[in-house]
Structure 1
Amino acid sequence: MQKQTGAARPWYKERWFWLLMSGPLLVVIAGFVTFGIIVRGADDMVNDDYYKQGKDINLELKRDLAAQSLGINAQVMFSDDMRSVRVVDTSAKPLTGTPELLLLHPTRQQGDQRIALQRVGDKLYQGALKPDQVSHWYVRLQDKQGSWRVQSEWLPAEGAMVTLGKASTEQTP
């Protein structure tokens, strides 16, 4: 004698259906989470126009050579609270115009800072920083016309000062 169970249960009340569908459902959810991580954490290091950027490297090298031929050197000193910066022009001839200081993050372009410097002395400039807890920077001093630049790599853990120019031996992007 067979036991009759009565009316058939709807599919959504079957435990085997939910057990078998839980795997694919988790994969779909994980896919959406992964896509969200990719969109929020996009890497700025890849440039779509790499050919044009490669051609521009020659222009950048000309700026470095121009600074070297002009004998431009500087020391950049950061305050302990990372809210201000002083630039001392150590060149033989004083700089003409007002230079600008760039702090370039190695991987996040949105972390870069462009600091407007103001002359406070004969060979002394000062500017304000946005505090950032980064352990590695590329520091670049350049004129606003883009005719010269001096740069170096700076690790804040190694001190609050970086030398730019002839004494700087680091090659930076």
Structure 2
Amino acid sequence: MTMQKQMDTGRPWYKERWFWLLMSGPLLVVIAGFVTFGIIVRGADDMVNDDYYRQGKDINLELKRDLAARSLGIGAQVMFSDDMRSVRVVDTSSKPLPGTPELLLLHPTRQQGDQRIVLQRIGDKLYQGVMKPDQTNHWYVRLQDTQGRWRVQSEWLPAEGTMITLGKTATEQNP
């Protein structure tokens, strides 16, 4: 009888410290799992494409656009304003740009950060556009026509300056 009295303290299970000590580990793992799931859902990476086969076949079409721009001698200098609200494009090609040019700012990992800038002609070989200010420190800059016949592109790191050269310049074509 005395042995049974020693084992039965009369306290409910939720007031036992050993229960909470043993259950704290699994409880922390479950909470960490929910936190990790939340991080994954909010920070999904846009670089993964479900239709990778079709995208791989389209690479040849993209290369044709690059070759077309090279054969046409298309080149440009892109100048961004200091406040990152406007952009000017100077056509450095020997002939005027064919088609209607547009400027794309492509974020390396977040597709929702991409910008399509409509360019308006303001001079003989000068175009201007308005962009949304963004503090991103790495971009892919692409100048192309809206019909998808040619494109010139390059990487741009805003920390290195507010100007970038795309394609061949007129001085490179006619030395």
Q: TM-score, normalised by structure 2?
A: 0.89
Q: Deviations over 1:133-154 (max 9, x none)?
A: 1111110000001011011111
- 1:39 corresponds to which residue? 41
- 2:18 corresponds to which residue? 16
- 2:173 corresponds to which residue? none
**Greater Cα offset, 21-30 or 94-103:** 94-103
In structure 1, C-alpha distance between the alignment counterparts of 2:124 and 2:74, rounded to whole Å: 15
Q: Deviations over 1:54-99 (max 9, x none)?
A: 1100000000011111111111000011110000111111123421
In structure 2, C-alpha distance between the alignment counterparts of 1:20 and 1:70, rounded to whole Å: 73
Equivalent pair of 1:98/1:118 in contact (CA under 8 Å): no
Q: CA deviation at 1:8?
A: 2.5
Partner of residue 50 from structure 1, selected from 52, 55, 60: 52
% identity of equivalent residues: 86
Q: CA deviation at 1:30?
A: 0.2
Tell me which of the two structures has the higher relative contact order, counting C-alpha pairs closer than 8 angstroms and 6 or more residues apart: 2
**Change over 3 Å in CA distance of 1:162–1:117 after alignment to 2:** same
Partner of residue 150 from structure 2, selected from 148, 151, 154: 148
In structure 1, C-alpha distance between the alignment counterparts of 2:168 and 2:92, rounded to whole Å: 10
Residue type at the aligned position of 1:68: R
Residue type at the aligned position of 2:132: K
Q: TM-score, normalised by structure 1?
A: 0.90
Equivalenced residues, count: 167
In structure 1, C-alpha distance between the alignment counterparts of 2:73 and 2:168, rounded to whole Å: 8
- Structure 1 regions of 5+ residues with no counterpart? 168-173
- Structure 2 regions of 5+ residues with no counterpart? 170-175
Q: CA RMSD in A?
A: 1.7
